[in-house]
Structure 1
């Protein structure tokens, strides 16, 4: 299993996510307070709340992630580039772009590469993640999409929007293996259905670089309770035979 030393290290492997379009500002403020409590690697939120995140997380090192073309990826490249540019201007650090699945199905990988290159150019040194929705793809399509993302300068492949995500560890590990084989230089984030520490640990053991989870707070709190807040009083021993 993945060797996680403490809850701080675990939190740094999780992007705490809230992309619910019915979340109120007061609920989002509570979400950011939870993120600050456990110091996650990043929060992933809708574009609406990026300015609020910038305000509330200014005294932390938590990165702010947000989405472009979410959740279907149908928008044209110019629209996605404009969205990404606006997010950076509002304070986002990580940009997650849903790739156009029509292009993958039609094997128009040149269009995907062109789109990713333009996105990377506009966001500069910020992190670019390409969401490829693996549950909807054949294995060869996953491989080619990951290759296109790597060739054109993306930093991560993310496996799902959360709407149609793999729900079994073996599906996730299969996706990881494919991406690692065909795009070995790109990093991998697994998202969707990760709601407990056991599953999170399996994903990390399987080779993921990061986890995205709506349940990040519960995962880390539970780990902390089990590993750090459990008081076990050792029995006294002597080092000589009686």
Structure 2
């Protein structure tokens, strides 16, 4: 087997440059130590290839660590990240295995951390489950962690969201407030039955009179510019304001 003599070893920033009689190779300090790549040492071509392969894996292992430093990620997310570098499957699996063994990758812990995120950001159990399925976390892990998201916890979070949103929406009619809040809660992954239970018990404040007046005058001005008789103008205004959630009696009071 061909033998290669190392004729030089130079430090270059965070890397080392190995010099042979025919070429130069970049490696890191871990590779130098592991394969004893010191000046004047004679190694086989196979040893050199193994060292370079190890360095190449180390390079993307460290890239993965940096990627994980921003936030915790699932195994699938790291696989997708490494695939963009066109690494072969064996190398990706090796890096994933190292990350798991060192505790940097753990889908069960990832799921537990993501549940905490959902609690902090008012996300429902369906949001949690769907997001983790997208990240290819095992269903058994998802279901295990979801046991901590019981019905009482869900209703408590829904109630807090309803209180907060209702304060912001009090200038809208009661019906529109409910509609907006229900839509928001469904989009955030809460169960419809739990939403309705809290919504139906909540006392909404309707301070929409000023908004109704503004909407009425805006519509009146719009339709008066069209070639319509008073009856059609009135019907169009009623239809439009009803679609905005205003009560029929309140609308009629503006038309009198």
Query: What TM-score do the two structures reach when normalised by structure 2?
Result: 0.21
Which has the bigger relative contact order, CA under 8 A and spacing at least 6? 1
Query: What TM-score do the two structures reach when normalised by structure 1?
Result: 0.22
User: Which has more radius of gyration?
Assistant: 2
Higher strand share: 1
